[in-house]
Chains A and B, each alone.
Chain A
Amino acid sequence: MIVSPNPHIHASVSTRSLMLDVIIALCPAVIVSFLYYGLSEIAIMAVSVASCVVLEWAITKYMLKRPSTTGDLSAIVTGILLAMNLPPTCPLWVVFIGALVAIAVAKMTFGGIGQNIFNPAITGRVFLLVSFPTFMTDWTVPAGFISNVDAFSGATLLGQVPVLGALEADKLVGLQTFFRNIGGSAGEISALALLVGWVYLLVRKVIKPWITLSIFATVAVIAAVFHLCDPAQFTGPLFNLLTGGVILGACFMATDYVTSPMSTWGGVIYGFGIGFIVMMIRYFGSYPEGMSFAILLMNMAVPLIDMKFHQRKYGRK
């Protein structure tokens, strides 16, 4: 007979079940990327996931000499997110280096799941972006299982802003972009697919909507204000929401439990910070997008936010 203190039952939710839900939520966007970018994207995904899992397993077993934590599936989530954040033409050895930085540097050095300050997948991506800019900005569109010949190649929508000017760039974004936006990181083809996954996470109560909504609102408001002031120089809200990984980042990367604030209002502030930084980088910085940098910068602020924002306590002012 078991004798232990209360509670005697459990919600039967585990780290593994939560991560499984995230994987399920990522499936629509992953499937879309496979359809449009074909075998090369499947290879990137396979290498990324396998590298992350094997690296975490090897590090826990041979370096930390602890029981393996790969069973919690978080390494798979990191692998999927990393692959989704890379161009579909990325060489596989570069993918492996990204996984190495994500798992070995960003995650395991800090002590593994729950301990890392920076989102592992984004850390991996940013490392590759600054180390291998050529590979990371090669937006050639590989052959997919369904036709994508009408896609631009050479630059992402955001990358075309300096070339075409904000007015012309804005015209390229419409309702159609919401469903299909070829040319960019593999995971951000379909805003719809990403949002379906996000809604799944909300319905399953895996995450709360506040961080994501705060990012969307901040990006939209800042873009609207600047765009109204000078439409020739600043792209509008729709353009900025639908391009450059804002949806992928806001739905799946900024909402990472480990690297986001715990309280509702903390999450709102965190989301505001991400939205603000990404818009400043886009309008005034030298990188065309900036979502990754915005999330990493705000990751650093999370301990401070958590110190300042708490739950409302019962019976206390």
Chain B
Amino acid sequence: MSKITFAIGGVHPDDAKLSRGCAIEVLPLPETLYVSMAQHLGAPAKPIVAVGDKVRTGQVIAEPGGFISAFVHSPASGTVKSISPRKDLAGNNVTHIEIAVEGDEWVDGVDLSNTLVTDIPDDRQFILDRIKACGVVGLGGATFPTHVKLNPAPGSKAECLILNGAECEPYLTSDFRIMLERTKEIIVGAALMQKVLGDVRTVIGIEENKPEAIEAMRKALAELPYKGIEVLPLKKKYPQGGEKQLIQAVMHREVASGGLPISVGAVVQNVATSLAVYEAVQKNKPLITNVLTVTGNCLPTERQHNYLFRIGMPLSYIISVAGGVPEGAAKLVSGGPMMGRAIANPDAATVKGSSSILYLSESSTRRGTESMCIRCGRCAQACPMGLEPFLLRRLYAAGDLAALEANAVQDCIECGCCLYSCPAYIPLLDHIRQAKVQVMGVIRARNAKK
């Protein structure tokens, strides 16, 4: 039993990894793909193709729209049918490039073989350029452009690269499957990022409910020539895979409020990102695929899947390939049950960071009727940031923004532990999210004045 975990708060939901035994299957291409220009955190990408253009798989179709932005590549070969706003998962109108799929003709210069390339290029800049050119972004949830994260501002020095294989969200198994099936590629990706950061200590953190992944990683590490990479089994506790929590668990350091992980010498990358880095640098293969889990507690075992999807596939397409919405599903979620987003618009297209389609039954997802706070303190005990959700909610009701800021509402990582543990079903996170938006606005306005 690993005791290594973060120090404050956390909850222990049933991990429900129902699809852990399902090997990754490749989804067939649909007739039409809708490629969002907001695949990543930061500025949306700018389309560089025009309606009617013929594109090939892996061809650049949009370029970064700012410093924090990323290239977007065509997920298939075909014709650009339209470039127009379309509703994304959150319901926002985002420019999408619609591609009528005609085949899967890749651009030249991409190594499509399965041969493992283990030689690490000596040129740090070459690695970074490849990562940027291939549009790699963080696949752990935030989709922050990876080349920016791997290139810390002058004055800050990376001391530890943490590979996030915690996959602490219940149900999700996509990271688990790639850790089993693409083990060596992930390690080569880690070695590449290690090289970029200056041969730093590299730790692959994996929750101990995935012993097969820990085993596979250790075995592969022994067979590969890299130094300074270790596997660290972590205690199963949510949100173990939260960036700040993982840093606390691995390095015993805390990122100051408002600070970046690099301020304590940490760079955290998801294992899926590491795989994307491998494919980008060693194979020159742009990021147009990712693995997505189709799972849920109202889905029979034989209908659970881990799919390799192309970006731009509408969720509804994947749902229909997987046999439709199962009987008894009351809520569809994209992402994990703790932090994912309820699917209101199943026609939304998948993006680089899509991780799951989760069907939850009525009984497991229905919120109870809100009642009075009984001051049990469970929300405060559960909060991994050490906040007091009961207090924040009261301050928000009173409209006291100064007190909200003093009580660190802006540090909330929206992990959902407070509402998950509230016996009175008070929608704590709903209120805190609103409060956070307002307080962040005040902070930004104050900083702008300075």
A interface, CB within 8 angstroms of B = 1-11, 13-15, 17-18, 69, 72, 74, 111-115, 257-258, 260, 262-263, 310-316
A2-B366, A312-B8 known; A257+B374 contact, CB < 8 A: yes
Tell me whether B372 and A6 are in contact (CB under 8 A).
no
- With A6-B429, A315-B411 given, can you name 14 additional A-B contacts, CB distance below 8 Å? A2-B342, A2-B362, A2-B366, A3-B344, A8-B358, A14-B424, A15-B371, A113-B372, A114-B375, A260-B375, A311-B383, A313-B8, A314-B384, A316-B411
Tell me whether B429 and A7 are in contact (CB under 8 A).
yes
What are the residues of chain B within 8 A of A314 when measuring CB–CB? 8, 244, 248, 254, 384-386, 411
What are the residues of chain A within 8 A of B342 when measuring CB–CB? 2-6, 8
Q: Which of B377, B383, B411, B430 contacts A263 (CB 8 A)?
A: B377
Tell me whether A262 and B388 are in contact (CB under 8 A).
yes
A233 to B180, CA, bound (A): 73
What are the residues of chain A within 8 A of B343 when measuring CB–CB? 3
Interface residues of B, dominant DSSP = loop
Q: Which of B93-147 contact A (CB under 8 A)?
A: none
Q: Which residue of B lies closest to A310 (CB)?
A: B388
A3-B331, A13-B423, A313-B408 known; A257+B375 contact, CB < 8 A: yes
A315 to B11, CA, bound (A): 20
B360 an interface residue at 8 Å Cβ cutoff?
yes
B414 an interface residue at 8 Å Cβ cutoff?
yes
Count how many pairs of residues, one from A and one from B, have CB atoms less than 8 Å apart in the complex. Answer: 145
B197 an interface residue at 8 Å Cβ cutoff?
no
Q: How far is the CB of B343 from chain A (nearest CB, A)?
A: 8
Q: Which of A1, A15, A263 contacts B374 (CB 8 A)?
A: A15
What are the residues of chain B within 8 A of A10 when measuring CB–CB? 367-368, 419-420, 425
Tell me whether B421 and A13 are in contact (CB under 8 A).
yes
The 6 A-B residue pairs with the shortest CB-CB distance, nearest first, are: A7-B416, A313-B386, A114-B372, A262-B377, A315-B254, A2-B331
What are the residues of chain B within 8 A of A260 when measuring CB–CB? 375
What are the residues of chain B within 8 A of A14 when measuring CB–CB? 368, 423-425
A192 to B82, CA, bound (A): 76
A14-B425, A315-B259 known; A9+B337 contact, CB < 8 A: yes
For A2, A18, A113, A316, which residue has the most chain B Cβ atoms within 10 angstroms?
Answer: A2
Interface residues of A, dominant DSSP = loop
Q: How far is the CB of A294 from chain B (nearest CB, A)?
A: 20
Q: Which of B367-426 contact A (CB under 8 A)?
A: 367-368, 371-378, 380, 383-388, 390, 408, 411, 414, 416-417, 419-421, 423-425
Q: Which residue of B lies closest to A71 (CB)?
A: B371
A2-B365, A263-B377, A311-B383 known; A9+B338 contact, CB < 8 A: yes
Q: How far is the CB of B108 from chain A (nearest CB, A)?
A: 43
What are the residues of chain A within 8 A of B386 when measuring CB–CB? 311-314, 316
Q: How far is the CB of A260 from chain B (nearest CB, A)?
A: 8
A216 to B333, CA, bound (A): 49
B330 an interface residue at 8 Å Cβ cutoff?
yes
A114 to B371, CA, bound (A): 10
What are the residues of chain A within 8 A of B377 when measuring CB–CB? 257, 262-263
Q: Which residue of A lies closest to B366 (CB)?
A: A2
Q: How far is the CB of A101 from chain B (nearest CB, A)?
A: 21
